[in-house]
Structure 1
Amino acid sequence: MDLIRIIWARARRLTDEAGSATAEYVVATMAAVGFAGLLVVILKGDEVRGMLTDLVHRALTVGS
């Protein structure tokens, strides 16, 4: 009888946290969306765009 109680108690603990994985995914997704939004705002600036364009141009230019 004690084995049944132990199994039942463990099963209840598992069901109590059933939505926690989903909540963690939501938090991680919202953090990623916020970070992406911040990057968009930063990268829209002319100074940053110029720096990135120059960096790519120098990386693709062969021998100077």
Structure 2
Amino acid sequence: MYGKARARLRALVRRMRGDRGMVTSEYAVGIVAAVAFAVLLYEVVTSGQVRAELQNIVRRALSART
């Protein structure tokens, strides 16, 4: 029983190793998605309301008494 499970595991590992990585189109889609997320995050962080809230947090942290 143990030998059969081990053989199945080896076969699964061999099949998984057959895919060496992403192809160029997958890299391109990944880069576009990362850039889109970065732009969205930048827009959120630099918006007036979020910027004011972040400044308030920093001010409170710097003026905290220990």
TM band (smaller chain): 0.5 to 0.7
In structure 2, stretches of 5+ residues that fail to align are: 1-17
Alpha-carbon deviation of 1:46?
Answer: 1.1
Aligned length in residues: 48
Show the counterpart of 2:45.
43
What is the identity percentage for the equivalent residue pairs of Structure 1 and Structure 2?
Answer: 39
Show the counterpart of 1:59.
61
1 or 2, which has the higher helix percentage? 1
Show the counterpart of 1:31.
33
Moved over 3 A (4+): none
**1:2-47 CA-partner distances (Å, limit 9, x unpaired):** xxxxxxxxxxxx8xxxxx5222111111111101111122122211
Alpha-carbon deviation of 1:56?
Answer: 2.0
RMSD of aligned Cα (Å):
2.6
TM-score by length of 2: 0.53
Q: Tell me the distance in 2 between the aligned counterparts of 1:48 and 1:36.
A: 16
